[in-house]
Amino acid sequence: MAHVDRQAWDVVVVGAGGAGLRAAIEAREAGMRTAVICKSLFGKAHTVMAEGGIAASMGNVNERDNWQVHFRDTMRGGKFLNQWRMAELHAREAPDRVWELETWGALFDRTPDGRISQRNFGGHEYPRLAHVGDRTGLELIRTLQQKIVSLQQEDEREFGAYDARLKVFQECTVTRVLKTDGRVSGAFCYERESGRFFVLETPAVVLATGGIGKSFKVTSNSWEYTGDGHALALLAGAQLINMEFVQFHPTGMVWPPSVKGILVTESVRGDGGVLRNSDGRRFMFDYIPDVFKDKYAQSEEEGDRWYDDPEHNRRPPELLPRDEVARAINAEVKAGRGSPHGGVFLDVSTRLPAEVIKRKLPSMHHQFKELADVDITAEPMEVGPTCHYVMGGVDVDPDTAAATGVPGLFAAGEVAGGMHGSNRLGGNSLSDLLVFGRRAGLYAAEYAASVTDRPTADPLQIDAAEAEALRPFSAEGGDQETTHDAGPAENPYTLHQELQQSMNDLVGIIRREGEMREALERLAGLRARARRAGVEGHRQYNPGWHLSLDLRNMLLVSECVARAALEREESRGGHTRDDQPAMDRHWRKINLICELADPQGERTAADPSLGQIRLSRRETPPIRPDLLGLFEKDELVKYLTDEELSR
Ligand code: FAD
């Protein structure tokens, strides 16, 4: 056995985005020695890209807002498939989490009377998103980092070392969660720069690794989003829930090709931007679904009046939930009414004065000027759908964020599933990170403190993790007759491109049975080839090697998405089937659960073309009556079965 350094911690948080940092702060404040580990530089996590804001019903701009209205909007946005207890906790606790950020030094934009300003966003009944221009994620991360530094300064005063109780391992990747006697015992990691392996021994791991967007060709997501936490959880024996629900944000850049997919924040529409097709028509009025008919303006005049007088008018349909807008744009382009580069037009220039646009949307102004040579104060943008967010994720206990079936494993943020149902409302992720990041840190700390006989990491597992990580350096062809790993070594970049193309084309925004079956076949082929993904050179900063390791994760989560999407024979939220276009009330309470079909990996090692994922169904517990009482019966009829209604 090669020597691998070990360090012992009470709690290890994987990920330094909003969820991970909030969890780490809570665990450290509970007195636990806490390590945070992240792939990128500290402060560079994907959360910094968040633009529009944090949804919290503070009622600063419209005092009618409260947690009940936020809960209602979240359930509607998720088409009632949400784990309702998570949606309840999220709506109740989000305002406190935003206030708390201000006590730690965040400074949000203000209303004229000095309160935290809140902006409109799709699916939110009232202005609800606390924001800092269109750079909210940056302020959130900056504040959480500042809090961490202040805790480290306390530790320096008390123990003489800044990282005595809170240490950040930056530019390091976890490739395995280790288990001993069925419980979490640590994490196997490598330093990206040196390639050195090490183990963080701990009874409690919090996964806060974000999403999976890099499995798709057109995406708003950063390079980190390779589904690592989803895969780590599966490999550790946990379950993923509702992986068929992937959000395609309606407005990504479509031109030039090098920036295709980069996000155009929903704030553009929240602040007055309108969508038009090549005929100049505001086409969203043609796409208001029945379930939302009475809540959205039926004419352009009414929609325009709403910006100044929301009490007496209904909101414009550009502010429908994202899944609706994305489908509408897709349909317009398909019908030949798209913009020159295959999107539609998003115009804010004719709606707001140039100086207001520059003040409210500084990043968008800069982004379009620099990347596309478009001045959004004078001309429309071209936009189209881009893979943005995964609603599915690790199945967790709503209150404690503990992963089902694996003692010591917790998950929060985008890697956790259930909270957003079939479709997330904009702004509800940043609040989710804070609410459930805190809870994950709290309960991971509680769990760690309760473990009196701490498991030690098993040397055999460490050896196996090391061998797995080194495999790309020895990938080469074998005898086709005797091994499924036969064939020439494969280039990980080629495999990644083929995976992204397949997922985009076959399990993308509009899905069909035949295409999803084809996707599963292609994934099987890619899986077999990925075992031969080979790299040259050394372990010192070697991005090709890192990608080879990430491929395992992307292939696992892609299979989850494709299998679950094939199984769910209806259209709902982020899952749209051309061959099953209707939403079916009988599917509402059914969750599709993914787990490893062959946990020991023997069968799939012998034949990698075999599927790795087993699907099962699980019903959501009935929604608590007081929460159901927040809705009109007329509305519930659209979502619940007759049996549920009579109950
Ligand atoms: P992240 O912030 O992505 O952090 C993941 C962390 O995990 C990173 O530190 C990464 O390095 C680490 N990591 C991953 N894998 C490993 C591994 N194997 N080992 C070690 N570390 C690992 N939501 C909103 O609510 N409001 C918005 O306005 C908004 N705007 C957005 C704008 C853009 C452009 C995008 C792309 C998303 C936006 N979102 C928004 C969504 C939101 O930003 C994300 O859902 C959220 O930031 C995810 O946070 P997280 O803490 O779960 O993960």
Range list of β-strands (E), 15-58: 34-37, 54-55
Best mutation site among 124, 140, 214, 224 for ligand 1, i.e. most ligand atoms within 8 A of its Cβ?
224
Query: pLDDT digits over 135-173, tens only?
Result: 899 999 999 999 999 999 999 999 999 999 999 999 999
Give me the catalytic one of 46, 230, 249, 276: 249
DSSP 326-379: HHHHHHHHHTT---TTSSEEEE-TTTS-HHHHHHH-HHHHHHHHHHH---TTTS
Q: What's the CA-to-centroid distance between 45 and ligand 1, angstroms? A: 6
- Measured by CA distance, the residue closest to atom 14 of ligand 1 is 209
What pLDDT shows up at residue 588? 95
3 state DSSP class of 596: strand
What pLDDT shows up at residue 482? 44
3 state DSSP class of 103: helix
- Between CA 209 and CA 16 the distance in angstroms is 8
Q: In the block, which residue shows the tokens 């985005």?
A: 17
- Measured by CA distance, the residue closest to atom 39 of ligand 1 is 50
Ligand 1 pocket member 548 (CB < 6 A): no
Number of CB atoms found within 10 A of residue 543's CB: 12
- What strands, in cross-sheet order, belong to the sheet with 197-201? 5-8, 197-201, 183-191, 172-180
State the pairing for strand pair 5-8/197-201. parallel
- Between CA 65 and CA 79 the distance in angstroms is 21
Q: What's the CA-to-centroid distance between 516 and ligand 1, angstroms? A: 27
What pLDDT shows up at residue 325? 94
Cα angle vertex 10, ends 404, 178, to 5°? 50
Ligand 1 pocket member 266 (CB < 6 A): no
Q: What's the CA-to-centroid distance between 243 and ligand 1, angstroms? A: 17
- Measured by CA distance, the residue closest to atom 31 of ligand 1 is 50
Would residue 269 show up in a list of annotated catalytic residues for this protein?
Answer: yes
What pLDDT shows up at residue 266? 86
Extract the residue ranges of the chain whose pLDDT is less than 70: 1-2, 476-486, 608-609
State the pairing for strand pair 204-207/409-411. parallel
- Measured by CA distance, the residue closest to atom 29 of ligand 1 is 50
pTM (two decimals): 0.93
Based on the number of CB atoms within 10 Å of its own CB, is 302 exposed (0-12), middle (13-18) or buried (19 or more)?
middle
Q: What's the CA-to-centroid distance between 306 and ligand 1, angstroms? A: 32
Q: What's the CA-to-centroid distance between 629 and ligand 1, angstroms? A: 34
- Measured by CA distance, the residue closest to atom 23 of ligand 1 is 429
Ligand 1 pocket member 270 (CB < 6 A): no
- Between CA 644 and CA 639 the distance in angstroms is 10
What pLDDT shows up at residue 1? 53
What pLDDT shows up at residue 142? 97
- Asked whether this complex has an ipTM greater than 0.95, the answer is yes
Q: Ligand 1 atom closest to Cα of 136?
A: 28
Q: Tell me the CA distances in angstroms from 101 to 131, 133, 361, one per residue in order.
A: 12, 16, 22
Q: Ligand 1 atom closest to Cα of 134?
A: 28
Would residue 249 show up in a list of annotated catalytic residues for this protein?
Answer: yes
